[in-house]
């Protein structure tokens, strides 16, 4: 049985549970139960505070864990990064009152900065030879300048709306963060085998992100031109139709260029274009 530590609530919890669900690993969430076994996979989920996850994995309380890169870097726990999961993206930034004329990092010399991430902040300040007073605070860091507790803050930023509502503006991005899958360095081979099965499922889900399966009827006279505009995985599937002058073309398109390519296909005479979302893709 493999044990994974997951944040007990919040955005990272929701994104992690969605990934497990998409990988067909069925876990019944319960706010009152800290340890829950999956119904159809040798996995048990341990619900923890996000800042406790790196240490729980490093000490072997959990075999693996999903944690924000910000917490992983801040805690400095001896756990291996297994995979970058690509969700729960945010950044750690310095922010100051919006009416201040900011000219550069030198502004922070002699200032007080409130943060929940003193390790990352002090490392950044040392690298840039900035001498500031770091005030460690938990909870609502963003209110610190407004109540006179600090001159600036260093905190997580996603949309930036929280900064705006507290009359702050982001002036320096210190690091980008996303969800990481981390692991205990000394897992048994049995547990690594289970982990590899899970990673295989995760990769199939990830490969299908923003992909569409497209089927269309195409005139054979334009087939070479149609194939040239299709960025398929290898080459499109071509199926003959009853009408010898037409064929059916099947391919996979990325969402980013979807409408651009669909427009080109229509201009080349493609008809009856059917678009289907892809749930999983195994390469």
> Could you give all domains of the chain from N- to C-terminal order, each with its CATH number?
2-87+178-207 (3.40.190.10), 90-177 (3.40.190.10), 211-277 (3.30.70.120)
Q: So what's the pLDDT on residue 160? A: 85
Would the pLDDT of 16 be above 90? yes
Between the alpha carbon of residue 105 and those of residues 5, 137, 160, the distances in Å are: 37, 22, 20
What count of other Cβ atoms lies within 10 Å of the Cβ of residue 114?
A: 23
Q: So what's the pLDDT on residue 31? A: 62
Would the pLDDT of 140 be above 90? no
Q: What is the pLDDT of residues 40-49, one digit of tens each?
A: 999 999 999 9
State mean pLDDT over 122-151. 93
Banded model confidence at residue 30, pLDDT cuts 50, 70, 90: low
The percent of residues above 70 in pLDDT, for the chain, comes to: 98
The percent of residues above 90 in pLDDT, for the chain, comes to: 79
State mean pLDDT over 21-31. 84
Q: What is the mean pLDDT of the chain?
A: 92
Distance CA 141, CA 98 (A): 16
Q: So what's the pLDDT on residue 255? A: 83
Distance CA 279, CA 69 (A): 27
Lowest-confidence range among 107-111, 151-155, 240-244, 251-255? 251-255
Would the pLDDT of 70 be above 60? yes
Q: So what's the pLDDT on residue 232? A: 57
Q: So what's the pLDDT on residue 235? A: 78
Q: So what's the pLDDT on residue 10? A: 87
Q: What is the pLDDT of residues 228-271, one digit of tens each?
A: 988 755 678 999 999 999 999 999 988 888 899 999 999 999 99
Banded model confidence at residue 122, pLDDT cuts 50, 70, 90: very high
State mean pLDDT over 189-213. 92
Q: So what's the pLDDT on residue 242? A: 92
Q: So what's the pLDDT on residue 281? A: 82
Banded model confidence at residue 209, pLDDT cuts 50, 70, 90: confident
């Amino acid at each position: 049985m493999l044990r994974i530590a997951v944040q007990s609530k919040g955005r990272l919890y929701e994104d992690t549970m969605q990934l497990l669900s998409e990988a067909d690993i069925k876990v019944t969430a319960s706010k009152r139960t800290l340890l829950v076994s999956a119904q159809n996979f040798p996995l048990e989920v341990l619900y923890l505070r996000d800042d406790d996850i790196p240490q729980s994995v490093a000490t072997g309380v959990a075999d693996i864990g999903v944690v924000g890169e910000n917490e992983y870097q801040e805690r400095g726990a001896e756990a291996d990064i297994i995979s970058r999961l690509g969700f729960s993206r945010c950044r750690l930034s310095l922010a100051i009152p919006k009416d201040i004329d900011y000219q550069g990092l030198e502004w922070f010399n002699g200032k007080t900065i409130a943060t929940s991430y003193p390790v990352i902040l002090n490392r950044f300040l040392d690298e840039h030879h900035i001498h500031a007073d770091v005030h460690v605070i938990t909870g609502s860091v963003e209110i610190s300048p407004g109540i006179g507790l600090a001159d600036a803050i260093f905190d997580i930023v996603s949309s930036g709306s929280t900064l705006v509502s507290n009359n702050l503006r982001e002036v320096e991005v210190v690091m980008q963060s996303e969800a990481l899958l981390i692991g205990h360095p000394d897992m048994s081979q049995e547990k690594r085998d289970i982990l590899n099965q899970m990673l295989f499922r995760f990769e199939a889900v990830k490969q299908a992100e923003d992909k569409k399966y497209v089927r269309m009827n195409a005139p054979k006279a334009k087939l070479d031109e149609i194939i040239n505009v299709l960025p398929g995985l290898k080459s499109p599937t071509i199926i003959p139709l009853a009408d010898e002058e037409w064929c059916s073309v099947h391919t996979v398109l990325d969402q980013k260029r979807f409408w651009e390519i669909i427009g080109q296909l229509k201009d080349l005479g493609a008809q009856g274009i059917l678009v289907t979302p892809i749930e999983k893709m195994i390469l």
